[in-house]
Structure 1
Amino acid sequence: MRVLVASAPLIGHVFPLLPLALALRDAGHEVLVATAADGLGAARSGLPVRDVAPRFDFGRIARGVLLRHPLIARAELTGTAGTRGAGLLFGQVNDELADGMVALAEEWSPDLVLHEPFAVAGALAAARVGVPAVRHENSLFDGRELVMVTTDRLTDALRRHRVTAVPPPAAAIAVAPPSLVAQDGWPMRYDSYAGDGELPDWLREPGPRPRVLVSRSTVAGPGSAGPMPAVVAAAHRVDAEFVLVRPDRRLSRSALPPNVRTVDWIPLRAALSASAALVHHGGAGSVLAALVAGVPQLATVGAGDRRYNATLVGARGAGIAAPARGITASSLTRLVTDAGLAAAAREVGREIAEMPPPAEVVSRLESLC
């Protein structure tokens, strides 16, 4: 079976698709990843990757969309646009991916297209060549709604490729633990490719004080430092060790409190196994990574889906939802001392562990072809 894996051109979108893609390869199937720009980092997994939009520029697209839709842009920046903002932005993203994605599907002749909700161009390509498409969730939004609002923006691409409409998927794969949010589809244990970073020995075991990892978005742009500046400002008043993962240049060159250290790219999941908590920018991948590890988290309320994601974490009781500027010594102390947060995080971690791993989903995909 030939499987084309379609992703938006962002690391945070393509890496969660790779565990299933690798399971398919290990089961003897031929797998090709179709993406562009930053998403080409998927090649580090050893899977073949094809660039379907060589001139893709996410920043240019985002600026253009936000300037043309100022009211939705304002809501998007405060995290209140819901899927409206995502539909506008990724509608344009997919319009630029569509021609290359369809051309690749026509050339490579897949038997199945596996795509994430933000990569509807994959479903369009599947429809064009007449093969099943499967939606693989990689966010906490409703994937059905994301596909619908994104497809609404693909009128020109559908016309160019003589596709009347994108049909419903042959199946969907849900990765969110049900106690956090319900998703449509076959359940599958969340995982994400860890990249090629090395885990230093000192991060493999717990330290003398609770260790808190602090990460930021993989997408560059305003506010990309995420919660790091606020954590650094409060850290000296907290009885914990803080580790900044991939801090920006300004922070990495500044004088840091004695209980703050920095590291480059590391396999986050492995590091979390010896850590007490995670502070992050509110991205779905970070939310799920902390839940998989069963550690409490502080998810910052921000742009795009980050307010929604952080609110889910807070409502589940597995962490704290707070704006980056609202991070204080008190909230960080609560993060590492509140037994209720830790217990709820462990509960969700056990729930995720009971979901089928990617290898067990392979046979269900094989049944579609």
Structure 2
Amino acid sequence: MRVLVVSAPLIGHVLPLLPLAAALREAGHEVLVATAADGLRAARSGVAVRDVAPRLDFGRIARGIMLRHPLVARAELAGTAGTRGAGLLFGAVNDQLADGVVALAGQWRPDLVIHEPFAVAGAIAAATRGVPAVRQENALFDGAELARATLARLGPALRRHGLTDLPPPAAAIAVAPPSLRRQEGWPMRYAADAGGGELPDWLREPGERPRVLVSRSTITGPGGAGPMPAVVAVADRVDAEFVLVRPDARLARRRLPGNVRTVDWIPISRALPASAALVHHGGAGSALGALIAGVPQLATVGAGDRRHNAELVAARGAGIAARSRDITADTLTRLVTDTALRDAARQVSGEIAAMPGPTELVRRLESLR
């Protein structure tokens, strides 16, 4: 079976799709990933990747949307826009992806298309080929709602390919732990690719003090530095060791407190088991990574789905939701000492571990042919 996996042009969107892609390859199926721009970095993981929109500039599209829709942009930056901003942005992105994905499907002739909610171009390609499309969630939002918001902006792309609408997906794959939120579809244990880089030996074992990893978004833009500057500002008043993962150049050049270290790109999922907590920008991949490891997290409230993710985690009791500017020494001390946070994180970790893994879904996908 040939399986085409389609993602928005962002590495953070591609990585969660790769474990299922790997399971399909191990079962003997051919897998090709279709994406563009930043998403092409997935090739470093050894998967076959095709650029379906060589001239796509995600930043330019985002800036154009913000200029044309200032009120929506303001709400999006505050994390209160719902699906309005996402629909506008990823509708425009998918309009540029659609022709390339359809052309690739025509050439490669997949038997099945798997796409994430913000890559509806994959569903368009599946419809033109008359093959099943499967929506795979890669976040904590309602994927059906995100796909609908994106599709609502794709009338011209549909018409270019002789379509008036899209059929419902043949199946959906849900990755959210049940106690956080319900998603439609077959449950599957979230198992994002570990990412690039090497894990230093000293990060493989717990340190003398509680270790807190501090990460930032893989996307540049507003709030791109994430919570790192705020953590550095108060770190010397917290009995913990802080590890900044990929700090920006300005922060890396600063004189840091004695309990703050820096590392380049590392496979964070492999460092989390020996860590006491994770502080991050609120992205779904980071939130789920901490939950898988069963460690408390501080997720900052920010743009896009970051407020949504942070508030979901906090409502479950598995972490703290806070704006970067509100991070204090007391906040970080609570993060590493509050046993209720740790217990809730471990409970959710158990839920995730009980979900079927990617390998267990291969047979179900094969049945869709």
The TM-score normalised by the length of structure 2 is 0.99
Q: Which residue of 2 aligns with 1:359?
A: 359
Opposite residue 261 of structure 2, the aligned amino acid is R
SS in 2 for 1:173: strand
Q: Which residue of 2 aligns with 1:15?
A: 15
SS in 2 for 1:38: helix
**CA offsets 1:226-258 (integer angstroms, 9 cap, x no match):** 000000001000000000000000011110000
SS in 2 for 1:273: helix
Counterparts of 2:254 and 2:94, CA distance in 1: 39
**CA offsets 1:138-194 (integer angstroms, 9 cap, x no match):** 011111111111000001100111112111100000001010111111000001112
Q: Which residue of 2 aligns with 1:184?
A: 184
Structure 2 residue 93 is the aligned partner of structure 1 residue 84: no
How far apart are residue 223 of structure 1 and its match? Answer: 1.7
Q: Which residue of 1 aligns with 2:281?
A: 281
Q: Which residue of 2 aligns with 1:65?
A: 65
Give 4+ residue runs of structure 1 displaced > 2 Å after superposition.
none
Opposite residue 351 of structure 2, the aligned amino acid is E
SS in 2 for 1:40: helix
Q: Which residue of 2 aligns with 1:170?
A: 170
Structure 2 residue 356 is the aligned partner of structure 1 residue 335: no
Q: 1:276-315 maps to which residues of 2 (within 5 A)?
A: 276-315=276-315
Identity of aligned residues (%): 78
Counterparts of 1:71 and 1:225, CA distance in 2: 24
Gaps (5+ residues) in structure 2? Answer: none
CA contact (8 A) 2:113 2:126 kept: yes
Q: Which residue of 1 aligns with 2:255?
A: 255
How far apart are residue 46 of structure 1 and its match? Answer: 1.3
Opposite residue 194 of structure 1, the aligned amino acid is A
Opposite residue 182 of structure 2, the aligned amino acid is A
Counterparts of 2:138 and 2:263, CA distance in 1: 26
Opposite residue 135 of structure 1, the aligned amino acid is R
Q: Which residue of 2 aligns with 1:96?
A: 96
Q: Which residue of 2 aligns with 1:316?
A: 316
Opposite residue 329 of structure 1, the aligned amino acid is A
Counterparts of 1:262 and 1:282, CA distance in 2: 20
How far apart are residue 196 of structure 1 and its match? Answer: 2.5
**CA offsets 1:256-306 (integer angstroms, 9 cap, x no match):** 000000001111111001000000000000000000000000000000000
How far apart are residue 195 of structure 1 and its match? Answer: 2.2
Q: Which residue of 2 aligns with 1:209?
A: 209
How far apart are residue 353 of structure 1 and its match? Answer: 0.4
Opposite residue 162 of structure 1, the aligned amino acid is G
Opposite residue 186 of structure 1, the aligned amino acid is W
Q: Which residue of 2 aligns with 1:47?
A: 47
Q: Which residue of 2 aligns with 1:219?
A: 219
Counterparts of 2:364 and 2:41, CA distance in 1: 28
How far apart are residue 221 of structure 1 and its match? Answer: 1.4
Q: Which residue of 2 aligns with 1:114?
A: 114
Counterparts of 2:249 and 2:332, CA distance in 1: 24
How far apart are residue 85 of structure 1 and its match? Answer: 1.0
Counterparts of 1:250 and 1:176, CA distance in 2: 35
SS in 2 for 1:139: coil
CA contact (8 A) 2:155 2:164 kept: no
Counterparts of 1:158 and 1:337, CA distance in 2: 53
Opposite residue 29 of structure 2, the aligned amino acid is H
Opposite residue 49 of structure 1, the aligned amino acid is V
Counterparts of 1:42 and 1:343, CA distance in 2: 34
Counterparts of 2:84 and 2:215, CA distance in 1: 27
How far apart are residue 222 of structure 1 and its match? Answer: 2.5
Counterparts of 1:47 and 1:224, CA distance in 2: 28
Of stretches 188-197 and 243-252 in structure 1, the one that deviates more from structure 2 is: 188-197
Counterparts of 1:123 and 1:13, CA distance in 2: 16
Opposite residue 158 of structure 1, the aligned amino acid is L
Counterparts of 1:93 and 1:287, CA distance in 2: 25
Counterparts of 1:141 and 1:297, CA distance in 2: 18
Q: Which residue of 1 aligns with 2:130?
A: 130
RMSD over equivalenced CA pairs, Å: 0.6
SS in 2 for 1:299: strand
SS in 2 for 1:236: helix
How far apart are residue 82 of structure 1 and its match? Answer: 1.0
Counterparts of 2:265 and 2:182, CA distance in 1: 31
Structure 2 residue 356 is the aligned partner of structure 1 residue 349: no
Q: Which residue of 1 aligns with 2:266?
A: 266
**CA offsets 1:294-319 (integer angstroms, 9 cap, x no match):** 00000000000000110001100000
Counterparts of 1:137 and 1:319, CA distance in 2: 22
CA contact (8 A) 2:211 2:242 kept: yes
SS in 1 for 2:346: helix
Counterparts of 2:167 and 2:237, CA distance in 1: 55
Counterparts of 1:317 and 1:208, CA distance in 2: 26
Counterparts of 1:225 and 1:15, CA distance in 2: 21
Counterparts of 2:252 and 2:55, CA distance in 1: 31
SS in 2 for 1:157: helix
How far apart are residue 56 of structure 1 and its match? Answer: 1.0
